[in-house]
Chain A
Amino acid sequence: MSQATAQNIPLSFYEEKSAYPGIFAWIFSTDHKRIGLLYMFTILSFFLFGMSMGFLIRLEKMFPGGQFFQPATYNALFTIHGVVMIFLFVIPGIPAVFGNFILPIQLGAEDVAFPRLNLLSWWLLVIGALVIFLSLFTGSKLPDTGWTFYAPYNTITTANIPMAVFGAFLVGFSSILTGLNFITTVHRLRAKGMTFFRMPLFAWSIYATAWIQILATPVVGITLLLVIAERFLGVGVFNPSKSGDPLMYQHLFWIYSHPAVYIMVLPAMGIVSDIIPTFCKKPIFGYKAIAFSSMSIAFIGYLVWGHHMFTSGMADLARVVFSFLTFFVAVPTAIKIFNWTATLYKGSIELRAPMLFALSFIFLFSIGGLTGVMLGTLNLDLHLHDTSFVVAHFHYTIFGGFGFALFGGIHYWFPKMFGKMYNETRAKWAWLLLFIGFNMTYFPLFLAGLEGMPRRYYDYLPKFAPYHFWSTIGSWIMISGILFMFGNLLHGLLRGEKADDNPWGGSTLEWQVPSPPPLVNFTTPPVVNKDPYDFSDILKKRNSSPTPQDQEDKGGQ
């Protein structure tokens, strides 16, 4: 009737006994930390797969003319690259990994609101991914529609698009359940004293993201189901030869897929908002402004989808309105950027690896964001639409934004998740390689795009050759940086030194539990009585200890 365990030091969630043996202890676990790590392993595998596709795309484009692949294979390469990266890596992304692992601890909760639903979300992602991979080999050719699955080609091509689209639908469902879970968690499971305005900004960003997940994803869900219905049930709502309107597909698709870019980037901004104060030892500047800007990005992001369709055929008035609203969404983003830089002002900045990633996020995302405003400008977009300028823009926002923040988050929370430290010096070198390689890969594409290099083209005019050549060289540097980074993290995981509970001097709740945390997170439920970025206690402790620089050498071996 009752059971009792007799330890004084709580076991970590790794050591706690599970009802299932071996791998089943993970894939059937409802513990949010295990699910977070499952997601991390899953989506990073997809990332490496997608990255290989990207590597091949760049290789093919190194010189003008065909190099290694047939044009049709090339079409499949960029399609698979896009589908895998967007649907399987970026969309689950940060909420799935850190929303699961970190959010409940930051709120002082034992788990998410619906742990079993949480496990179901992971399973849906995995099954969706399997369906997508199966679709590659079950059509008479590889999918070649691009990741957007535009109508009417999606019903005409002989590739197995219905199956790919169904996989994406399952992934979307997983995303909806995750969002639903996190909203309920934030509303119901905050610790005593943790008011909404005492939540860390990462929690705020996950909360805002969760609203987009549940309110935007169903629209793409029904759109993808309609694509399947077009193929099998003979209905023709998008196919003009069956009296449908392909523009309606584009509208429905972008009603989801523009807000989806904020599913990708809002949590990234949340991570940056947590990293920067920790490594400045200073409360974040404009806490409420950052929190509200997350919510307003989530809201305004709904009203701008038309900027993807300026050249598709739309009333002039609609185009002007969409263009104006697109400018408007840049405002809350800029508010965040100014607040982060204001936080840096007079802070005692420690340039540790997570901080480098956070700072490069600000730099790269600013470029991505400002070029986004350029693309949102109606007249400029008529020139730049479907050029490699767009490709460079969204890689700067998604990879430079989401990707760098994810890697920063992995470095930041690595000690918490695994209880081990990685090698700091090597982490910085990996960052440098990645940062240089990234800019070398994507910046030339801006220039080529300005001169008219179309995106998704197999071949190109000789005048674009230098851009593509240097871009390909850059991709090699970038990939070696990524591999070096993962190698270093893996080494830290296996051989790293034991990490302290609070190696960075972080102020949020997750740094008050052991590394790695025990199964129930908190042995006594925490009571919160201060702001999330109040470092006074930590600084007091640090100043009173005789060797404040100890920590500095810890990671450096």
Chain B
Amino acid sequence: MSAHAAELAVHEHKDYTGAKIGMWMFLFTEVLLFGGLFLLYAVYRAEYPQGFHQGGLHLDVFLGAINTIILLTSSLTMALSIAAIQRGQKGLAIFFLSFTILCGATFMVNKYFEWSKKIHHKIYPGSEALAKYVDNMVEEGKVPPQQKSGVLLFFSLYYLMTGLHGLHVLVGMIAMAFILRKLLKQPFVHHRWNPFQKQELQGCRLVLEDPNGQTIWKSETFDETVKHVDVEFQYYPAPKHVHPDDYVALENTGLYWHLVDLIWIFLFPLFYLIS
């Protein structure tokens, strides 16, 4: 850039920190969304400890543990994918991101088998067979009569909380798929600036140079009729050079994915390990 033009401060339109702040706010809202359900869980479990115990006996600890391991692994690969893209290693980033999506899918498949097995045994909220089954438990003396509601509430909350969590896994997978597509297509980087002030423009011209100082393009000299300049250009970044703006979407998806993982870390013991 020419000496004069170089003094013009160039301000990026995209705000990396802003995007991060926004994402953290959103995660707070997610925590509170689940918070309502955790609150219900806490109150009902305190009220019906034996009912919850009986309910917990019906969950498959093995499948739950497998799913926990899968999600923990996926959090690791997500972090690795971000670390890779921050270093400009796109291929590696794509590999780890695909692996993360695969983990999410495996989790969902497990969940599907788990749920369908239960539904096959008529264990679902509002099921008459379940109500009868719980009545039998009372007769057999497994559950005291006043704890009967606890079993039903356990299954209601089990389906609601793991269901909402599964929905979040799905949303996370969709978000990752979008970013994967973006990475695979190697999109050109698109920048748009309008950083210049009226006074600063007078007598200046805009010059584009390559790293060796060769002029690629230059504009007319701006006279007093020019009030506003928009600079818009597209380029293909060198594979080793990735701008923070390009990975903020991946980082934010990573944050979301870690939260989904974290919620599961709480769901697993609260449902599978209480008996």
- The residues of A with any CB-CB pair to B shorter than 8 Å are 1-8, 113-114, 117, 176, 179-181, 183-184, 187-189, 214-219, 221-223, 226, 229, 233-237, 242-245, 248, 251-252, 255, 523-525
Interface string of B173-209 (1 = CB under 8 A from A): 0000000000000000000000001110000001000
B228 within 8 A of A: yes
Seed contacts A2-B230, A235-B160; 8 additional CB < 8 Å A-B pairs: A1-B217, A1-B233, A4-B229, A179-B25, A180-B26, A214-B28, A242-B125, A243-B153
Contact with B227, one of A5, A114, A235 (Cβ below 8 angstroms)? A5
Whether A248 pairs with B43 at a CB distance below 8 angstroms is yes
Complex Cα spacing A235 to B125, Å:
5
Knowing A187-B21, A218-B35, A237-B40, the reply to whether A243 touches B28 (Cβ < 8 A) is: no
Whether B160 pairs with A237 at a CB distance below 8 angstroms is yes
Complex Cα spacing A180 to B28, Å:
10
B212 within 8 A of A: no
Whether A233 pairs with B125 at a CB distance below 8 angstroms is yes
Closest A residue, CB atoms, query B130: A234
CB-defined contacts of B199 to chain A, threshold 8 Å: 524
- The residues of B with any CB-CB pair to A shorter than 8 Å are 15, 17-18, 21-22, 25-26, 28-30, 32-37, 39-40, 43-44, 124-127, 148-149, 152-153, 156-157, 159-160, 197-199, 206, 217, 219, 222, 225-233
Q: How far is the CB of A391 from chain B (nearest CB, A)?
A: 28
Q: 3 closest pairs, A vs B, by CB?
A: A234-B126, A243-B149, A222-B36
**A to B CB contacts below 8 Å, 21 in the list:** A4-B228, A5-B227, A5-B228, A6-B226, A113-B18, A113-B21, A176-B29, A180-B22, A183-B25, A187-B18, A189-B18, A219-B32, A222-B37, A233-B125, A234-B124, A234-B127, A236-B125, A244-B149, A248-B43, A524-B198, A525-B197
Whether A8 pairs with B126 at a CB distance below 8 angstroms is no
Complex Cα spacing A2 to B33, Å:
46
Complex Cα spacing A194 to B28, Å:
27
Whether B149 pairs with A2 at a CB distance below 8 angstroms is no
Whether A114 pairs with B22 at a CB distance below 8 angstroms is yes
Whether B156 pairs with A237 at a CB distance below 8 angstroms is yes
Closest B residue, CB atoms, query A525: B197
Complex Cα spacing A8 to B199, Å:
12
Closest B residue, CB atoms, query A221: B33
Knowing A3-B229, A5-B227, A218-B33, the reply to whether A184 touches B22 (Cβ < 8 A) is: yes
CB-defined contacts of A5 to chain B, threshold 8 Å: 227-228
Complex Cα spacing A233 to B160, Å:
10
CB-defined contacts of B32 to chain A, threshold 8 Å: 215-216, 218-219
CB-defined contacts of A214 to chain B, threshold 8 Å: 25, 28-29
Q: How far is the CB of A19 from chain B (nearest CB, A)?
A: 14
Whether B30 pairs with A218 at a CB distance below 8 angstroms is yes
Closest B residue, CB atoms, query A234: B126
CB-defined contacts of B160 to chain A, threshold 8 Å: 226, 229, 235, 237
Knowing A214-B29, A218-B32, the reply to whether A243 touches B227 (Cβ < 8 A) is: no
Whether A217 pairs with B126 at a CB distance below 8 angstroms is no
Whether B125 pairs with A4 at a CB distance below 8 angstroms is no
Contact with B156, one of A3, A8, A215, A235 (Cβ below 8 angstroms)? A235
Q: How far is the CB of B10 from chain A (nearest CB, A)?
A: 14
CB-defined contacts of B230 to chain A, threshold 8 Å: 2-3
CB-defined contacts of B40 to chain A, threshold 8 Å: 237, 248, 252
Q: How far is the CB of B11 from chain A (nearest CB, A)?
A: 10
Please classify the interface of chain B as helix (H, G, I), strand (E, B), loop, or mixed, using the class held by over half of its residues.
Answer: helix
CB-defined contacts of B44 to chain A, threshold 8 Å: 237, 245
Closest B residue, CB atoms, query A117: B22
Complex Cα spacing A333 to B22, Å:
29
Contact with B159, one of A2, A8, A235 (Cβ below 8 angstroms)? A235
- Most chain B Cβ neighbours within 10 Å, of A4, A6, A245, A523: A4
Complex Cα spacing A248 to B153, Å:
13
Q: How far is the CB of B152 from chain A (nearest CB, A)?
A: 5
Contact with B29, one of A218, A237, A524 (Cβ below 8 angstroms)? A218
Contact with A2, one of B125, B152, B157, B229 (Cβ below 8 angstroms)? B229
Whether B35 pairs with A236 at a CB distance below 8 angstroms is no
Complex Cα spacing A7 to B226, Å:
8
Whether A113 pairs with B22 at a CB distance below 8 angstroms is yes
Contact with B17, one of A188, A229, A251 (Cβ below 8 angstroms)? A188
Q: How far is the CB of B48 from chain A (nearest CB, A)?
A: 9
Knowing A113-B15, A234-B127, A235-B156, the reply to whether A6 touches B227 (Cβ < 8 A) is: yes
Complex Cα spacing A7 to B231, Å:
19
Whether B152 pairs with A242 at a CB distance below 8 angstroms is yes
- Most chain A Cβ neighbours within 10 Å, of B36, B39, B124, B226: B36
Whether B153 pairs with A234 at a CB distance below 8 angstroms is no
Whether A233 pairs with B36 at a CB distance below 8 angstroms is no
CB-defined contacts of B125 to chain A, threshold 8 Å: 233-236, 242
Q: How far is the CB of A92 from chain B (nearest CB, A)?
A: 17
CB-defined contacts of B149 to chain A, threshold 8 Å: 243-244
Q: How far is the CB of B255 from chain A (nearest CB, A)?
A: 14
Whether B25 pairs with A184 at a CB distance below 8 angstroms is yes
Complex Cα spacing A233 to B156, Å:
9
Complex Cα spacing A218 to B31, Å:
9
CB-defined contacts of A176 to chain B, threshold 8 Å: 29
Closest A residue, CB atoms, query B51: A243
Complex Cα spacing A179 to B22, Å:
10
Closest B residue, CB atoms, query A252: B36
Complex Cα spacing A428 to B199, Å:
44
Complex Cα spacing A237 to B42, Å:
13
Q: How far is the CB of A91 from chain B (nearest CB, A)?
A: 16
CB-defined contacts of A117 to chain B, threshold 8 Å: 22
CB-defined contacts of A184 to chain B, threshold 8 Å: 18, 21-22, 25
Closest B residue, CB atoms, query A244: B153
Whether B17 pairs with A524 at a CB distance below 8 angstroms is no
Closest B residue, CB atoms, query A188: B18
Closest A residue, CB atoms, query B36: A222
Contact with B15, one of A6, A188, A223, A237 (Cβ below 8 angstroms)? A188
Q: How far is the CB of B195 from chain A (nearest CB, A)?
A: 10
Q: How far is the CB of B219 from chain A (nearest CB, A)?
A: 6
Closest A residue, CB atoms, query B30: A218
Contact with B148, one of A6, A181, A243 (Cβ below 8 angstroms)? A243
